[in-house]
A and B are shown apart, each in its own frame.
Chain A
């Protein structure tokens, strides 16, 4: 297991490098540069800007310097579009926000999703089952850019319970709508997965045996059924978390939360090479880390798996 983790980490480094080079080249191939302005800049000013950001070096040199600064100083450079800020500052400000509402949505999705899915499976074909299936399918296909404005309308304007946007780490009322808007569709997916795998497990031989032996149903479910039924849920968690980070674009746009999702889209549109690279690397690293964590969790729950 330990060797496996090491091997996975060893692959992670070339992967990240590849990602850096690939995004770097893509970005520099794009028409329009970071300093494309409504008025073309005087050549001297442009030359100064390019020198300041190292854009006058050959491309291979730029990539090398970029990676070198990250490795030695963990410095992602200054932002091209926000002249007062460095990429480190922008990420340091936005990432905790994204992580906060992202993790909360993740928790919501897993806890509610698993409960709903398991309950539906145990009471298969009851009203509860139909309700759960209905909710999960409906929520799964409702795009969050439709849900977000409805939430603001209901909770901010009509009920007046929650602030319509903004962010504060000290006031959870700012967290609620982002978490609901982001977490609901994943909650639905998890409920669906849990339900069908729970049904499969409940129909399997060892549960039937346990039932025949007269064990109380509660114990059967908690002890014998839930754990194997969760395996498919766990392999879903990795991609789920990553696409939550992507989905945060919608949250940042509708709720003005100031997370990194919006920063990423802005940086791509504004040719803010540095911020774009910084966030891509961050999310790439998270993707790798999370899929590794999920694999470890998986191995822990299912001892049959050998690495």
Chain B
């Protein structure tokens, strides 16, 4: 990312109007403004600080509004905040809040509501599973509070007055502003939580400041939202009603989409080409900021054989990613030879030698490397791959198994549910593990930070040069240089086998307008959407 600010303190007057739905010229609005979207599973909670799911975040962005929103291309636009200033040292951010913002019960949205929400996120008493997000933002004292060593009210965020919020950070964090559209940072009305307790998020109780109010939530069936008349920009909100419909089976979801019950759903792996042909105006494939990989355990608990970089390289070479992308997934995903998703804002793809080789060369080299280590199809290296239950993961694992077999690697597939998979990864109890990382904000460091020695890094990759590069990147004029160098280290050391970069492969009814088709984060706001006559 190129710095969006020069060197001196700078007031970012966000010039763009915080546009709600702008109906394109020539579009005629439909009579009923209702949007029915698909949910794979039940929504676990509508509490912004307790939510952990992507689908839950989709719901929360309609019910609440943070300091900033994302526009259709993923750029930050004003939400509750109209402008912000960053101090010279990059350690203090001051947000001006719009005075007309209101809660759905008519109370004004104040800076204190944000302070309450943020303190609530880090307070160990809330036991928020996303407390780490506040630590990632580098807010003063966040880590101490999460660890229980400081009181929640010492968090580096304060309400200067009703409409001014001041945040202090422990170190300059260039991507800070990109993080304040995340649901964990949404404000809450404390009086409602105090009064209703855990039940405050239920329909009828929930008070939000978003463009929609929660009107119904049947676990595993549907969740309904209606337009919030108190929303400050309600005049420009077009959609009246939103319904999230849970359909556990993607094939049934397709049938219901075709029957008109769903306006959007995710295409099952392998079906995109067929659907694209049948519905050229409805099947879409967009870059989506997640990377799919097989992690290698290089910790002390890992296999001795996998500490040999040549073996790791051989495994990476031996996978024909073009087959996985073009013949298994078939949804416009891109083969990956690096870690960071190619479409991250400002990220330039480093040159990785493996990427430009032909598969025949890769396979030949893989074979050679394995042979040199003493492994052939007759004396194979036995490895185990853990993956969590999913039709797509299973397919890719089966293919990998067959691709490695002729090279002298005998792969055992070990399918387990997510909780067990995660647990074993966190305890370094694996050899190879399927994993995917999705960006928390639109900047490459969300990926590269993963492999820091202090990062999440379940395979326990440990490289001092790598850590140093990322430290430099924070204050670098052009952090992309550091990211490139870091990626080069990953490519040389191969603590992971990158497989592909995600795409969002969906069917969308042609009459649904205003979805953020160019935002790699795929965050959508119903207030920007509308339905045309059909």
Contacts and interface: CB of A to CB of B under 8 A. Distances in A.
Interface in B181-201: 198-201
Interface residues of A, number: 52
Interface in B115-134: 124-125, 127-129, 131-132
B256 A152 contact: yes
A164 B422 contact: no
Contacts of B277: none
B258 interface: yes
A264 B365 CA distance: 49
Nearest to B247: A256
B523 interface: no
Interface stretch (A4-12, A30-38, A56-64, A276-284): A30-38
B437 to A, nearest CB: 10
B249 A31 contact: no
Interface string A16-41: 00000000000000111101111111
Contacts of A258: 218-221, 246
A160 interface: yes
A83 B222 CA distance: 18
Contacts of A256: 220-222, 245-248
Interface in A136-178: 148-149, 152-153, 156-157, 160, 163-167
Contacts of B417: 32, 269
A273 B109 CA distance: 38
Interface in A248-307: 252-254, 256-258, 262-263, 266, 269-271
A44 to B, nearest CB: 4
A263 B220 contact: yes
Nearest to B246: A256
B221 A31 contact: no
B256 A82 contact: no
Given A42-B132, A165-B245, A82 B52 contact: no
14 contacts: A33-B419, A35-B129, A39-B129, A39-B456, A48-B124, A84-B50, A84-B200, A152-B252, A156-B256, A157-B258, A164-B259, A256-B247, A258-B218, A269-B418
A156 B46 CA distance: 31
Chain B: interface residue count, which band?
35 or more
B42 A45 contact: no
A166 B243 CA distance: 12
Contacts of A266: 41-42
A270 B41 CA distance: 13
A215 interface: no
B255 interface: yes
A85 interface: yes
A93 interface: yes
B146 A252 contact: no
A78 interface: yes
A162 to B, nearest CB: 10
Contacts of A36: 419, 422-423, 426
B528 to A, nearest CB: 27
A270 B220 CA distance: 15
B202 interface: yes
Interface string A37-80: 11111111101110010000000000000000000000000100
B274 interface: no
B45 interface: yes
A207 interface: no
B259 A166 contact: no
Given A37-B422, A42-B146, A149 B202 contact: no
A94 interface: yes
B511 to A, nearest CB: 19
A180 to B, nearest CB: 15
B420 interface: yes
A149 B252 contact: yes
A253 B248 contact: yes
A32 B44 contact: no
Contacts of A187: none
A78 B221 contact: no
A157 B255 contact: yes
Contacts of B50: 83-84
A81 interface: yes
B261 interface: yes
B71 interface: no
B271 interface: no
Contacts of A37: 52, 129, 422
Nearest to A52: B127
B489 interface: no
B221 A45 contact: no
Contacts of B127: 41, 45, 48-49, 52
A94 B423 contact: no
B251 interface: yes
A41 B133 CA distance: 12
B47 interface: yes
